[in-house]
Structure 1
Amino acid sequence: MHRRLFFILLYVIAGTLQALAGPVKGRVADQTSHEPLIGATVVLEEKGLHDISGLDGSFIIKNAPAGTYHLSISLAGYKTLVKEVTISGDAPLNIDIDLEADHDKTLHEVVVAGKTNHATEGTARQIERNAPQVMNVVSGQAIRLSPDLTVANVIQRMSGISIERNSNGDGQYAILRGMDKRYNYTLVNGVKIPSPDDKYRYVPLDIFPSELLDRLEVYKALTPSMEGDAVGGAVNMVMKDAPDHLSVEANIGTGYNELFFDRDFLSFNKGAVNFKSPYELRGNQYNATAADFNNATSDYSTRRPMPNLIGGLSIGNRFLNDRLGVIIAGSYQHTYRGSNSLFFDTDKRDTLSGVVVTSMEKRAYSEEQLRYGLHAKLDYRINSRNSLQLYNAYMRLTNTQVRDAVETELSIGDYDPDKGNATLGYKTRSRITQQQIYNSTLQGDHRLADKLLLQWSAVYSKATQTQPDNTTIPLFGIQENFVQQRTNVGDATRRWEHNSDRDLAGYLNLTWNKPVASLPVEWKIGGLYRDKQRDNFYNNYQFHPQNLQAQYGVDFTDYKDIAWALDNPRGSVGSALNYTAFEKTGAGYLQFKVSASHLEVTGGARAEHTDQGYAMKAPIGEDNPTGHQVYTDVLPSLHFRFMPWDKTNIRASYFRSVNRPGFSELVPGPVVREEYRETGNPDLKHAIADNIDLRYEFFPRATEQFMAGVFYKHIKDPIEFTLQLEPRSNFLYYMPGNFGNANNYGLELDFIKYVKQFGIKANYTYTHSSITTPKTIYVRTAANNGDIFTSSADETRPLYGQAAHTGNLTLLYKSGRYGWDVQLAGNYTGERIVVVSQYLGDDQWQKGFVQMDFSLEKSLGHFGIFAKANNLLNTPMEVYVRKPYTNSKAIPYQSPDGRVLIRRDYYQRTYLLGARYKF
């Protein structure tokens, strides 16, 4: 009995002592910027209790008994702070701590930590908060910890942005606020770069390794000092800058695509490919023979691919008493990707009741990607008033692809799905696509007077793309009793294409701080001149088999053993893709920024003069072998930033912008693609847009935000591609046109919140757009022997590429004590039009999809290990037409849900494991 009372009394005493123990909690921040400091060690010295500050700078030490103690707070790069604290025991002790940066420290990790503040979350939020216009920023810190290896995949995490993917599922082009990729432009360190695309202006963002960036900025509203040809917005990649002291960062990793667990990788002898056609090697009068073409592109082999390999290295330092800063960074990515694709073709002469599906094609893509980027920057401080910067960048992406396809004819009489009989077509395509972007920019900043600043830039940029010996070899085949067999050889094609886009540009900006009516006003005046030269080359050779009766498996077993006869010895250069073009742009602007109490106003106007033209190299009966357009646009803009309370912005802005046609969009003449014909339109006009933004911004802490905004765009003469009857030839072409006016409006929400070790980033965008265009109606009636009648009707639809709903949700976990960073990122893109048809109700829609990605990193001092996994849900990309199929026989993979499946691609999951070093 006494023993039981003793234990009860001991339990009560222990509980009482526990009740007297109170937690010590608070936040650690930078003394100057007030940015939360992550990873600071907080120690209650007398008790040895400690914690590590979390993502929001917060810490908590539990179960501290009542008493007076010394609280020590330390973090590399900051002076250790020791405070005397008293814990009463009956209430938690709340204490916020500001640490002072320690500039006297010489440890390398301290120097690096101090410099990389330019890439932190707090810096990104500060830029968004203080910018004169609406913009969003992804920090270098967030990029490094994300699951993404390229800029194209990083940018999809931002509000209002979706991406267009390439054939292996990676992001390639950005779509801003539902505006197609043509409606935005791309900058590197604030300077516009040309595109390697063979037809358009927009830059493929998958060519840029994300690890070279300090941050990624997206401007959603334009000021007068910015170039005016963006309706959706402008993407600015801010590259790594020279650190204060010696900094070395390196990483290496390897991984695999799950797709090749189940099938082999198909490749060809890419090392022996001829990069120039006989036409280029021997001249336009040379009559080529089959002997001029080697069999490298048909020398196929199958194997399991090697593991993916990535690596990066960055070295930077300052010299000459810190006057000269140097950084050199490189990235290398060698990956094997692919997809399993299902493609259906339909009869374009649709009736109002449905669609006739004519064929089904199963495609297996095997792609080897070699991506590398080199980035070098020097900055030299001549004196306190003058400085120079030289930036050079070289990006290169080589994609070696084999597409192996088997087509089943579904609309002819011998197709019998029950017996497994069908007519087949085999088609194997070998292709190398090599894209390069080079940029060299020399800039100067000169303080002419205390209130007068002169800035200038001289820019040379060049983008190229090469597709040598693009080879397609078709074979006929049959299926009997579900057994498939190749038979005879069809006609083959071999194609050479290359293009270059060269920019010479000069920028000049003068900033003058001159008060007006006792209000501080910053005046800016300046302009640019750009000379752009475009050169495109295209040549196509057609072949037929020498032995038309040659049987696969009897007369040959390897494609490289097929004997060919050449049909067009001088090639086929009479194409709209064979042209030269130019564009000379001159611009000037006047901009002011005035601040008064809680209000900042930025405004002014920009004038841009465009002189644009083309000349076909080999016109064949074209009415417009050359073309020329000259026009001038005045682009006003006005931006308000109202700051009624601390940490709060209310923004309102208006700006006018333009969208110029791409060079190839003006060049007439047929281009025969694999699924359609296309041509340019010399009468195409540039689009003009009026843009309005309203946004509320709240930054509760340096790394947190809540933003809610609406936008509206009215576009005059938007440029859209549709299937149209080309008036000069009366053939049906996929071609650009201007279609009256279009409207686009939407809502954007951004949210970032950190609680101790956990964080959440979320955004959602609703976008609505509408454009009305004429469509063709083909009606087949039972009367009149089933003849087809045509008529026309207007159809209102969203703009090409615009998804009504997009969103991101990212969950983060960071343990400073144990060195873990974990991230789970989900992205949703709603359905959108990906092909605009000439026919009523025949537009092709991409189904909405969710992609889930994961990353983690474990820090081990200077070293760290990381892992990334992409496309965890293996979400397919699906395209459909909103009509039922009307075939008399059942069609594989089609469901009677009122929609016809046009395409379905599976990419599978990709895994990466690597190590990182930082000194």
Structure 2
Amino acid sequence: MPSIQWPALAQYPGICLIIGLALQSQSQVHALSSQTATNPAASPTAECSNSDQRYLQLASPGLQEATELLANRFGLQLVSSADVVALPVANNPTPACRTLPQWLSLLLPDHIGYRVIEDTLVLSAHLAPAAQTTAAITIKATPTASIDLPDEIFVTAELQAGASRRSAPELTGNHDFKLDREQLRQTGVRNLPAALELASGVKIENNRYAIIRGMTGRYQTIQINRGELPSLDPAGQNFPLDFIPLGILNSIDLQKSVYADAPGQASAGILNLDTMQLPEHDYAQLAANYLYRQGSNSSSTLQGYSSSSDWYGFDDGSRRIPDLLLHTARQGSLDDLSNTQRQQLGEAVVGDMGLYQAHSQSSGGLDISTGLSRQISNATLGGTLSFNLRDHWQNTWIQSTSYSTGTGYSGSSADFHHEDSTHQRSEHIVDLSAMAALGLDINDAHYLGFNVLWLHQSTHRAELIETQGKSEHDIPSNTAYRRALINWTERSLLQRQLYGRHQLTSATDLYWQIASTQTNYDRPHDLDYRYSSTSENSDYQLQLSPSTTNIGWRSMQQQSHSISLHLNRIYSFGINSHLLTGELKWGWESSQKQRHGYNLLYTYSGSDDLTSNSQLMEQPNPNDILTPELITGDASSSGFILQDTLLDTDSSTSLSGRFYSATQINRATYLLNDLDLSEHWQLISGIRREYNQMTAALWNTEAHAEEPLQTASRWLPSIALEYRPSFHQLRANYSQTVVWPRFNELLPVIYEDLDTRTKTIGNPDLNNSDVHNWDLSWQWKPLDIPLRLGSSLYLKRIHHPIEGTFTDDTEATDQASYSNYSYQNSPFGQVQGLELEADYQWQWSGQHFKIQGRYANIRSHVQQRVTGQQNTDETGSDSDVITETTTKTSDSRPLQGQPAYISALRLQYQPSNTHTFSLVYKRSGTQLYITSDRNDLPAVYQQPRNHLDLSWTYQLKPARLTLNINNLINTAHHYQQGDYHYLSYRTGREYWLSLDVGF
């Protein structure tokens, strides 16, 4: 295979490399052409009794072609410098079985040296001659992954700290985007979401969630070391990528086209995060950073109650639910308590409800990592340890509009048509993470590894919302209120993973892994209360009712267990004069997730003499109203009494209650064949059988057995054909995937989204979505110019797509509110897109320039069921309202989460080896955010936004200094609903300074 040449790099000292054209499949040996095989029955393993040897016959005198063939046979990727490409072989060896050092000593001229680093064979005149480096060789008999073009100009053969041996089977197919540990450092990005935005067709939502090819989290899979990362939020389905610190990662790998060896959920793609494992040598690394966010740091901020241990991310227990209250919730109601007990709980539940002005501090972080490696006889033993801390503040000022709780957009029966609100939101977030890994490599044939990963995030949020009711003509009404939201949230993940790789023969590898993951979510003493004013001249008074004042405790725990086996077998056979090679993969995967939690809400009711006392109810702090002397346990007494807030989420089924449990079981078996038909043609075919079962139970006072929500299985076929002429790569493939609904989409549990103020509730009747995926991709990497072009066409046909839809939840909560949404299946959806990529670099007067362009144009449409209202009486008198359900195809109505386009442009300027400047511009098109199934209620669309980041890196070994200025333009985040601004806010510019030192 030819290599991309970067001649401009040859003048620099050190080892200057040319990245070879990517090997097409991560676990395959490329086919030999008929010109390179004289014996049709020859096999890379059968011909050679020694597993370290390979049979080879050369037909070309060119050194480049010969070493490419040699690297393929030994399962290595080839990297060579410009001075190697045009050379002839030193000798023309006879066909035979030889080891890699023996072959190279015969092929290479005296002035060309080599080195094997990980799974890469490096050839360069800057290396010592082969005879001097033979003892340092480590040969990998296993096939290797393709290398995506790196995002930096300079790639050196220096082994970077943290490089680890491959211990997990990589997925079949091309890497659409891949960055290793060193490239992540060089790009100047400070978190994982920012790194992924360098990939084409990827958009990051809220600086934490990835949208791949315009498809939201339900259509993708995120894995760490090939184990799935579960959601950390009971109301969510995505894993927050900003939760993963870059310091623990060895590489990130994104594949948008998947085959039978990938999870069926990965319709849009799969993101795999590879953590630090067994290092090649000892290292230590320290990174400290300082972050200044405009309007957020060293500024006035809102704050609720703070415990003594909040500063390091843990509640000290003072917010915990009282034991008697939790016991009562599980056994009955507050009415079952004695008056004294109820009064005591009423006093305890109040806690500190005040909303205060405070002062934010500086933001920053600290990353520490180290690794050790020791050679013991024929084995290598080592491990890595890392710790990461991030502390950051965020103030956000938001403008929003929501429709009234009346009959909808076409007219309102309430005293206002819509509400205009101004928000001040303050957040203090502390992220802690630690990872420990141990690895044992025996003879490069057996690898055992053990990882422990711990993540913890705390968020202290306070928000003040001032709202004014408006008429349909935007005239202020008499209704206005002030709403306070105060909550403390802790999310944590603890994952233990044991895995291994065993080279059973020189052509057969066995991979296995066992993982256990525990996630916890806790939101104690969650406060939500309102002060209302009913006329222009009246003051604000605290409103006490379940719809206006709630004190809650929300908790979720989830246990996830997974086990998998993967067997890879390289084979070959002859047909006439052709020797065909390929790889056969078989795998079995099983996972079980068990989730349980509760959602407990309480409020207070007051006697008439107190609630009518305006002087009392106008006190701005609820603690001055709900005082101990005014709290009672007797409903007939004058005072305030604690009340249950029971939400009968679905009275038509047994799935109703404040406590819940759910279990998901997923099992899969697959068989995949990756065959090289010739030097230029490759065929991948496979089949996957996946079974999924979801059961759940909800209750108030008595737990009962879980009942089935959904049980289904699917056959998921895939096939791809690839053609690889010189400098080109053309691939066409088809695959079938399936979207299994997540816990939050099925369970009828109500949660409030803190960003949009909408209440979400699952739909137990939701069906899975079947997705048919067609892809056609092309890449061009010429040898003579430093240019790479790529394009991809894709089509996804989705049967019963799942979408979040506005709903009037009158049956669930006895009130109409179009700020609520649930999930529903549309009959059919289709997504089609075009992705374009271009990378070009050049050198002028010792200075290096690089430009990268990414553009994805996306079109989609959905058949939807729309509920409309019509008047059957044309006389103007009172009439019956008839609700009709119709199904229609609307090309103008895109699939939820689909932006019209995703674009990015990156410019890099490197005046010397020590300085690098980068400028990144990003923009996405209009995106459907929340759908609506009513003609009289508009959907919400996220509007296009410009984003510009600037970074400067100064490298002076062993230190690196990085300065980032993010969100330079500070364009507003804007969401439109009909004629109104659903949400509008700016996040401010960020200034990030980091010092990274490695030894």
Q: Deviations over 1:856-885 (max 9, x none)?
A: 222233223222222111111111123xxx
Q: Does 1:604 align with 2:686?
A: yes
Q: Deviations over 1:358-411 (max 9, x none)?
A: 211111110001012212222101334222011221122211100111111223
When structure 1 is superposed on structure 2, of 768-777 and 341-350 the one drifting more is 341-350
Q: 1:393 aligns with which of 453, 456, 464?
A: 453
Aligned pairs for 1:512-531 within 5 A: 512-517=569-574, 518-531=579-592
Task: Report if the CA contact (8 A) 1:154-1:210 is conserved.
Answer: no
When structure 1 is superposed on structure 2, of 428-437 and 855-864 the one drifting more is 855-864
Task: Report if the CA contact (8 A) 2:8-2:842 is conserved.
Answer: no
Task: Report if the CA contact (8 A) 1:28-1:97 is conserved.
Answer: no
1:305 corresponds in structure 2 to: 360
2:149 corresponds in structure 1 to: none
Q: Does 1:159 align with 2:186?
A: no
Distance 1:738 1:193, change over 3 A: same
Number of matched pairs: 807
Measure the CA separation in 2 of the matches of 1:503 and 1:352: 47
Task: Report if the CA contact (8 A) 1:434-1:467 is conserved.
Answer: yes
3-state secondary structure, aligned to 1:143: helix
Once the two structures are TM-superposed, the CA of residue 156 in structure 1 deviates from its matched residue by 2.8
Q: Deviations over 1:706-743 (max 9, x none)?
A: 21011111111111222357898798773222221211
Task: Report if the CA contact (8 A) 2:411-2:417 is conserved.
Answer: no
Measure the CA separation in 1 of the matches of 2:241 and 2:950: 21
Distance 1:573 1:131, change over 3 A: same
Distance 1:309 1:118, change over 3 A: closer
Distance 1:873 1:607, change over 3 A: same
Once the two structures are TM-superposed, the CA of residue 187 in structure 1 deviates from its matched residue by 0.3
Measure the CA separation in 1 of the matches of 2:769 and 2:669: 20
1:723 corresponds in structure 2 to: 806
Measure the CA separation in 2 of the matches of 1:464 and 1:488: 34
Distance 1:346 1:611, change over 3 A: closer
3-state secondary structure, aligned to 1:254: strand
2:928 corresponds in structure 1 to: 833
Distance 1:489 1:201, change over 3 A: closer
The letter for the 2-side match of 1:317 is: L
3-state secondary structure, aligned to 1:280: helix
Q: 1:615 aligns with which of 697, 702, 706?
A: 697
Once the two structures are TM-superposed, the CA of residue 697 in structure 1 deviates from its matched residue by 1.2
Task: Report if the CA contact (8 A) 2:558-2:595 is conserved.
Answer: yes
Aligned pairs for 1:572-583 within 5 A: 572=646, 578-583=659-664
Q: Does 1:234 align with 2:266?
A: no
Once the two structures are TM-superposed, the CA of residue 509 in structure 1 deviates from its matched residue by 1.1
The letter for the 2-side match of 1:589 is: Y
Once the two structures are TM-superposed, the CA of residue 582 in structure 1 deviates from its matched residue by 1.0
Q: Does 1:116 align with 2:212?
A: no
Task: Report if the CA contact (8 A) 1:157-1:827 is conserved.
Answer: no
When structure 1 is superposed on structure 2, of 319-328 and 216-225 the one drifting more is 319-328
Task: Report if the CA contact (8 A) 2:540-2:618 is conserved.
Answer: no
Distance 1:190 1:101, change over 3 A: farther
Q: 2:723 aligns with which of 642, 652, 677?
A: 642
Q: Does 1:763 align with 2:823?
A: no
The letter for the 2-side match of 1:114 is: E
Distance 1:738 1:255, change over 3 A: closer
TM-score, normalised via structure 2 length: 0.73
The letter for the 1-side match of 2:742 is: G
2:145 corresponds in structure 1 to: none
3-state secondary structure, aligned to 1:149: coil
Measure the CA separation in 1 of the matches of 2:663 and 2:800: 22
3-state secondary structure, aligned to 1:185: strand
Q: 2:396 aligns with which of 323, 336, 339?
A: 339
Once the two structures are TM-superposed, the CA of residue 551 in structure 1 deviates from its matched residue by 5.2
Q: Deviations over 1:600-644 (max 9, x none)?
A: 22221111122221111339999x983343222111111223211
Aligned pairs for 1:323-338 within 5 A: 323-338=380-395
Distance 1:345 1:238, change over 3 A: same
The letter for the 2-side match of 1:274 is: R
Task: Report if the CA contact (8 A) 1:488-1:549 is conserved.
Answer: no
Distance 1:861 1:770, change over 3 A: same
Aligned pairs for 1:186-205 within 5 A: 186-205=222-241
Measure the CA separation in 2 of the matches of 1:145 and 1:778: 58
Q: Does 1:507 align with 2:564?
A: yes
Identity %: 18
3-state secondary structure, aligned to 2:456: strand
Q: 1:274 aligns with which of 319, 331, 352?
A: 319
The letter for the 2-side match of 1:868 is: N
Measure the CA separation in 2 of the matches of 1:26 and 1:32: 6
Task: Report if the CA contact (8 A) 1:489-1:550 is conserved.
Answer: no
Q: 2:912 aligns with which of 774, 799, 816?
A: 816
Once the two structures are TM-superposed, the CA of residue 476 in structure 1 deviates from its matched residue by 2.3
Structure 1, unpaired ranges of 5+: 1-22, 37-55, 60-80, 84-95, 166-170, 883-898
Aligned pairs for 1:621-632 within 5 A: 626-632=707-713
1:469 corresponds in structure 2 to: 525
Measure the CA separation in 2 of the matches of 1:848 and 1:24: 39
Once the two structures are TM-superposed, the CA of residue 563 in structure 1 deviates from its matched residue by 1.1
Measure the CA separation in 2 of the matches of 1:296 and 1:151: 38
Task: Report if the CA contact (8 A) 1:314-1:330 is conserved.
Answer: yes
2:18 corresponds in structure 1 to: 34
Q: Does 1:447 align with 2:447?
A: no
Measure the CA separation in 1 of the matches of 2:174 and 2:859: 22
3-state secondary structure, aligned to 1:270: coil
Distance 1:686 1:474, change over 3 A: same
Q: Does 1:911 align with 2:911?
A: no
The letter for the 2-side match of 1:609 is: Y
When structure 1 is superposed on structure 2, of 681-690 and 140-149 the one drifting more is 140-149
Structure 2, unpaired ranges of 5+: 1-6, 21-79, 84-109, 113-122, 137-154, 308-315, 632-639, 650-655
When structure 1 is superposed on structure 2, of 381-390 and 553-562 the one drifting more is 553-562
Task: Report if the CA contact (8 A) 1:27-1:58 is conserved.
Answer: no
Task: Report if the CA contact (8 A) 2:14-2:156 is conserved.
Answer: no
Measure the CA separation in 2 of the matches of 1:100 and 1:152: 37
Measure the CA separation in 2 of the matches of 1:736 and 1:530: 25
Distance 1:820 1:779, change over 3 A: farther
For the aligned residue pairs, the C-alpha RMSD in angstroms reads 4.0
Distance 1:450 1:35, change over 3 A: closer
Once the two structures are TM-superposed, the CA of residue 114 in structure 1 deviates from its matched residue by 2.6
The letter for the 1-side match of 2:127 is: E
Task: Report if the CA contact (8 A) 1:776-1:790 is conserved.
Answer: no
Task: Report if the CA contact (8 A) 2:260-2:688 is conserved.
Answer: yes
3-state secondary structure, aligned to 1:178: coil
Q: Deviations over 1:148-178 (max 9, x none)?
A: 433233323321111221xxxxx12211112
1:683 corresponds in structure 2 to: 765
Once the two structures are TM-superposed, the CA of residue 552 in structure 1 deviates from its matched residue by 7.1
Measure the CA separation in 1 of the matches of 2:184 and 2:895: 30
Q: 1:854 aligns with which of 937, 950, 963?
A: 950
Once the two structures are TM-superposed, the CA of residue 672 in structure 1 deviates from its matched residue by 7.6
3-state secondary structure, aligned to 1:560: helix
Once the two structures are TM-superposed, the CA of residue 543 in structure 1 deviates from its matched residue by 2.0
The letter for the 1-side match of 2:563 is: G
Measure the CA separation in 1 of the matches of 2:8 and 2:433: 48
The letter for the 1-side match of 2:435 is: H
Measure the CA separation in 1 of the matches of 2:389 and 2:703: 47
Q: Deviations over 1:241-285 (max 9, x none)?
A: 443222111111223221237961111223164233553266534
2:331 corresponds in structure 1 to: 284
Aligned pairs for 1:533-544 within 5 A: 533-544=594-605
Q: 2:254 aligns with which of 218, 230, 236?
A: 218
The letter for the 2-side match of 1:525 is: W
The letter for the 1-side match of 2:591 is: R
More strand by share: 1
3-state secondary structure, aligned to 2:715: strand
Q: Does 1:132 align with 2:157?
A: no
Task: Report if the CA contact (8 A) 1:27-1:57 is conserved.
Answer: no
Once the two structures are TM-superposed, the CA of residue 789 in structure 1 deviates from its matched residue by 4.7
